[in-house]
Amino acid sequence: MRILVAEDEPQLRRQLAEALGEAGYAVDSAADGERADYLIQTEEIDAVVLDLGLPKIDGLTLLRRWREAGLFVPVLILTARGSWHEKVQGIDGGADDYMSKPFRMEEVLARLRALIRRASGNASPELRCGAVTLDPRTGRVRVDGAAVRLTSHEFRVLSYLMHHRGRVVSQAELTEHIYAQSFNRDSNTVEVFIARLRRKLGSAVIETVRGLGYRIEERT
């Protein structure tokens, strides 16, 4: 899963990027509205943390522009403390949730998890497929209750497939959603991650759909 952080305050931007990275997301950062707009048009982003007070193009203008253009990526807006009219404008402008500054990082992470879960049609906080469970709250993956250690990229691949259970996901799509824009990508590495995941989780969990991609079946 890939998150865009649009925040002009450098320290806060770094803190958000770091916390999200540690939580297992690929993170793209933008210090102004133009950059955020560019990234949302050109990259595959799963959720956005959007500061409303951004230079060049403000957050509310961006949000309205994206919604008018039919871009329905989940957006969590960051508003100034106590600014209730900003919250109302933000939600009316198409935001899915908001946080007032200053905030607890844990709460931002929890709200983002919920947005991503709902956007992918998952009601339960823990993702399950047969014997495999993935808990986005802790980053833990288990097979038949036993913890499995994954690298960050293996986790991102599995998390994306688990969020989109029952659907075939191409190698290109996976590549887009596991790396930030600044990362030097190599789509062949997806095959490597899939092979390692199969060794760790059991070979039947991830199915190869020839010529199309990979799928984790919808099973309970």
Q: Does 46 bind Ca ion (CB under 5 A)?
A: no
In whole angstroms, the minimum distance from the beta carbon of 102 to Ca ion comes to 13
Q: Does 8 bind Ca ion (CB under 5 A)?
A: yes
5 versus 134: smaller Cβ distance to Ca ion: 5
64 versus 196: smaller Cβ distance to Ca ion: 64
Q: Contact with Ca ion (CB under 5 A): which of 28, 46, 51, 97?
A: 51
Q: Does 86 bind Ca ion (CB under 5 A)?
A: no
Q: Cβ atoms within 10 A of the Cβ of 145, count?
A: 7
Q: Does 53 bind Ca ion (CB under 5 A)?
A: yes
Distance from C-alpha of 85 to C-alpha of 101, rounded to nearest angstrom: 14
In whole angstroms, the minimum distance from the beta carbon of 12 to Ca ion comes to 8
Stretch that binds Ca ion, among 43-51, 59-67, 96-104, 202-210 (CB under 5 A): 43-51
84 versus 220: smaller Cβ distance to Ca ion: 84
> Residues in contact with Ca ion, total (CB under 5 A)?
3
- Per the listing, tokens 């957050």 go with 59
Distance from C-alpha of 79 to C-alpha of 202, rounded to nearest angstrom: 45
Beta-carbon contacts of residue 2 (< 8 Å; ≥ 6 apart) = 25, 26, 27, 28, 43, 44, 45, 46, 176, 177, 178, 179, 180
- Secondary structure of 165-199 in HEC code, one letter for each residue: CCCCECHHHHHHHHCCCCCCCCCHHHHHHHHHHHH
Enumerate binding residues for Ca ion (CB under 5 A). 8, 51, 53
